[in-house]
Structure 1
Amino acid sequence: MKRVVCSIVAFTLLTGILLLYFSQTAAADILGRTYINAPEDNKKTEDPFSELDSFTKELPTVKEPQKKADEKSKLTLGQLRKKYKSTFVTNGPNVKRIALTFDDVPDPRFTPQILDVLKEYGVKATFFVNGQRVLNHPKLAKRIHDEGHVIGNHSFTHPDFNKISMSAFKSEIKKTEQAILPITGYISKTIRPPYGEITEEQLIWAAEHKYRIVNWNVDSLDWKGLNKEQVVTNILSNTRPGAIVLQHGGGGHGSKLQGTIDALPEVIKALKNQGYELVTVPELLGIEKSK
């Protein structure tokens, strides 16, 4: 009887040992490595869940939907104008006055000819300058000022404000102010954003610092290299009391603005014949040109 009991106990122990061994081996196979024998070099073993980690890293992060939500909530230029109407303008009051404006100046290829026409007809305009161009052509910038025209801020290097940081935006404005100051003796309070683009955060900063963002409601489209007739039509067919007209007095390499220069005398004469007074942007808006 004792022998039978001993045999049963021995059989049970052996069975348990075998089951334990095979269960560990099976577990090791599932996880893709052997846990029984530790690595001889004591190096850190591969995490059996590393594949799961790499899978979860590929899943969309919580920032994706937030980014899309932010893009949806971004206001259009039209909505920004309504929300910040005292800071962001495209036209003046409904009076028989019009402001002619010229961007991307000074440019020795085109700006002097525009100045000659304006002088001949006794018209004062607003020139939105790039700070870098002012530094490159200070005498021409001084001529704009000396002949009674208003100089506005059109950034230093002409970037799209939508694509730069707030610190870069402020730098573009401030560096242009410093370029203008020795020539004009004042810091312009009018800013025209390149391409007419601006963000809400930039608008808030501009409002806090008493700037006026000045876009336009009549576009000559002269930057396309249009001829005289096309420029005249684009301006005269869209002008109305209080209009701000966008033209260019400079541009990049290969720019063609002869159409603007040739059209200017006809535009001036036609507007005057219609009873319009041609004024600067600060005059049109009833604001100071500087601080």
Structure 2
Amino acid sequence: MKKAAPYITGILVVIILTLLAYRSAPRRSPDDPLPLRGGNERDNRAIGEIDLEKLYPGLVLRSAKGPEKIVALTFDDGPDRVYTPKVLDILKEKGVKATFFLIGSRVEEDPEIAKRIADEGHAIGNHTYSHPKLTKASPLLAEELRKTREALEKLGLGDNGFFRPPYGAAEPSLVEQAADLGYRVAMWSVDSLDWRGLSKTEVVRNVEGYVQPGSVILQHSAGGPGEDLSGSVLAVAEIIDILTAQGYRFVTLPEMFPASEKCTEPK
């Protein structure tokens, strides 16, 4: 029995340490969004970029061509219960329609907010189910797109055949796989960089300084755990006011890139 005592003591120590670690672990608030499988934006934006728009015209979409003064507001990573409703409130007040790239697992968690997006006339795109870090063709991509599409379909919604890769990371093989699955790859031409937790003034400056006819603007209506998008939300109304005063008209991505323009043949 004396020989067993150290062994028993060791087991008790492990159990106690495990319980303490569990109790001290940060608890997820009901308002916190589900974690992003590939990590937060700030940890993944150093990925190199190929000019896929030139390689796959009509399939990889970054901006509209032509002189018409149209712009598209796009919001990634929603829905959530903190930022997405505030963005929707502002868009409704301003009478502007936008495009929301939704994460399937978050659609399942906040279905009423996802339905509100569609009910208020906004377009929806597919931003995968769990936001993994994918750059090349993979069986996981097909699964991620399917699960998000099914989550939307359960609510009577669709994804308009638009897919935005998490972190904007894509190589030709991923683009070609998305095309085989019936998707066009929707990127952006103006990055607000709001995922850095910028102030309203900084976000407005990042957008206003780079917009031109046909621009696709990237912001976020939700983020990873701990990301502060309050400055981005405050910037939405000012961006709309500034660009409207400059003669721009806001459109959704299905309006900017009609399905008839789809092209799947790489150059």
Relative to the length of structure 2, the TM-score reads 0.76
- Whole-Å separation in 2 of the counterparts to 1:184 and 1:129: 15
The answer to whether the Cα contact below 8 Å between 1:161 and 1:199 also exists between their aligned partners in 2 is: no
Q: Which residue of 2 aligns with 1:233?
A: 205
Q: Which residue of 1 aligns with 2:64?
A: 92
* 3-state secondary structure, aligned to 1:183: coil
Q: Which has the higher helix share?
A: 1
Q: Which residue of 2 aligns with 1:80?
A: 52
- Whole-Å separation in 1 of the counterparts to 2:124 and 2:205: 27
Say whether 1:156 aligns with 2:133: no
Q: Which residue of 2 aligns with 1:251?
A: 223
- 1:286: how far off? 2.2
Q: For each residue in 1:178-210, what CA deviation from the matched residue of structure 2 results, as whole angstroms up to 9, or x when unmatched? A: 011122443430000001012322211222343
> Rg larger in 1 or in 2?
1
* 3-state secondary structure, aligned to 1:127: strand
Which amino acid letter does the alignment assign opposite residue 253 of structure 1?
Answer: P
Say whether 1:275 aligns with 2:247: yes
Greater shift in the superposed pair: 213-222 or 202-211: 202-211
Describe how 1:100-111 pairs up with structure 2 within 5 A.
Answer: 100-111=73-84
The answer to whether the Cα contact below 8 Å between 1:93 and 1:285 also exists between their aligned partners in 2 is: no
Which residues of structure 1 form unaligned runs of 5+?
A: 1-75
**Alignment equivalent of 1:224, drawn from 185, 196, 201:** 196
Which amino acid letter does the alignment assign opposite residue 245 of structure 1?
Answer: I
Q: For each residue in 1:24-68, what CA deviation from the matched residue of structure 2 results, as whole angstroms up to 9, or x when unmatched? A: xxxxxxxxxxxxxxxxxxxxxxxxxxxxxxxxxxxxxxxxxxxxx
Relative to the length of structure 1, the TM-score reads 0.70
Describe how 1:1-291 pairs up with structure 2 within 5 A.
Answer: 77-94=49-66, 95-162=68-135, 166-287=138-259
- 1:80: how far off? 2.7
The answer to whether the Cα contact below 8 Å between 2:188 and 2:217 also exists between their aligned partners in 1 is: yes
> Which structure exhibits the higher relative contact order, with contacts defined as CA atoms closer than 8 Å and separated by 6 or more residues?
2
How large is the Cα RMSD of the aligned pairs? Answer: 1.5
Which amino acid letter does the alignment assign opposite residue 108 of structure 1?
Answer: R
- Whole-Å separation in 1 of the counterparts to 2:157 and 2:199: 37
- 1:261: how far off? 1.2
Which amino acid letter does the alignment assign opposite residue 110 of structure 1?
Answer: Y
Does the C-alpha gap of structure 1 residues 281 and 187 become closer, same or farther in structure 2, counting only changes over 3 Å?
A: closer
Structure 1 segments (4+ residues) deviating >4 Å: none
- Whole-Å separation in 2 of the counterparts to 1:88 and 1:115: 27
Greater shift in the superposed pair: 191-200 or 76-85: 76-85
